[in-house]
């Protein structure tokens, strides 16, 4: 099977982008990172992608002001011109219009630093700590017009410690993000996912695993 051509959209340093690029370097990985696009000139991730031999583009969003769709039409033209099949959002700091999301329905992934549907939006680690949750984590999902609401592909969890700060908790969650995003893209690119009534079904599943926090010996 030919590798699926993937574009990653970034706005900053691109740590999840780097995890995807490193995973896609494996010969048996079913996707190739063909393009990285930033909406901010000089974003740190652009240099990393270039160093990995990946083509990069910058489409600055600022000149478009509030005309989000015009920006997205230019973005879409570049994706189509590069024969992109799947799009991964990796710290892309833009709210996408329903028009753009429709163009990539079932073909655009995002990663969110919380166990959706809990803690949609920003400041997820602060909110989780304020609520006293014992388990927190990250979610990879398909993108739909409603923010942080698409079908869930994969989730990873960490235990929350009593002495956690947003930074310490966020660092552990980031480690989980770097594991589940490449695995999610692998599932989608290899055709092991299907959308059914707004839910993502996985063809192959791993044995059941349980995370209980706090654990009592």
Q: Which positions are catalytic?
A: 112
Asked whether the beta carbons of 115 and 155 are under 8 A apart, the reply is yes
Asked whether the beta carbons of 196 and 142 are under 8 A apart, the reply is no
Binding residue per annotation — 20?
no
Binding residue per annotation — 16?
yes
Binding residue per annotation — 109?
no
Binding residue per annotation — 5?
no
Binding residue per annotation — 68?
yes
Give the separation between CA 55 and CA 11, rounded to whole angstroms.
Answer: 16
Peptide linkage before 209 cis (omega within 30 of 0): no
End-to-end alpha carbon distance in the chain: 48
- The helix (H) or strand (E) run that includes residue 38 is strand 31-38
Asked whether the beta carbons of 89 and 69 are under 8 A apart, the reply is no
Binding residue per annotation — 96?
yes
Binding residue per annotation — 186?
no
Two structure tokens written together for 121: 């939006």
Alpha helices in 158-212 (DSSP H): 166-189
Q: Are strands 4-10 and 31-38 parallel, antiparallel or unpaired?
A: parallel
Binding residue per annotation — 95?
yes
Binding residue per annotation — 70?
no
> Can you give the three-state secondary structure of 174-185, one letter per residue?
HHHHHHHHHHHH
Closest CA to 140 of 178, 190, 97: 178
Residue stretches of the annotated binding site for (6R)-10-formyltetrahydrofolate: 68, 93-96, 110
Residue stretches of the annotated binding site: 14-16, 68, 93-96, 110
């Amino acid at each position: 099977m030919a590798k699926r051509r993937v574009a990653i959209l970034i706005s900053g340093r691109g740590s999840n982008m780097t995890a995807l690029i490193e995973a896609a370097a494996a010969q048996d990985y079913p996707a190739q990172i063909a393009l990285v696009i930033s909406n901010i000139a000089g974003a740190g991730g652009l240099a990393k992608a270039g160093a990995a031999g990946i083509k990069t583009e910058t489409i600055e969003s600022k000149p478009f002001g509030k005309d989000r769709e015009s920006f997205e039409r230019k973005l879409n033209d570049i994706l189509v011109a590069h024969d992109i099949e799947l799009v991964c959002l990796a710290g892309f700091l833009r709210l996408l219009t329903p028009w753009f999301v429709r163009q990539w329905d079932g073909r655009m992934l995002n990663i969110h630093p919380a166990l959706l549907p809990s803690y949609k939006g920003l400041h997820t680690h602060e909110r989780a700590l304020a609520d006293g949750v014992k388990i927190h984590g990250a979610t990879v999902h398909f993108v739909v017009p409603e923010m942080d609401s698409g079908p869930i592909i994969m989730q990873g969890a960490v235990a929350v410690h009593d002495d956690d700060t947003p930074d310490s908790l966020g660092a552990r969650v980031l480690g989980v993000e770097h594991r589940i995003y490449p695995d999610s893209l692998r599932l989608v690119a290899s055709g092991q996912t299907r959308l059914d009534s707004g839910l993502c079904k996985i063809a192959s599943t791993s044995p059941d695993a349980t995370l209980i926090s706090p654990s009592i010996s």
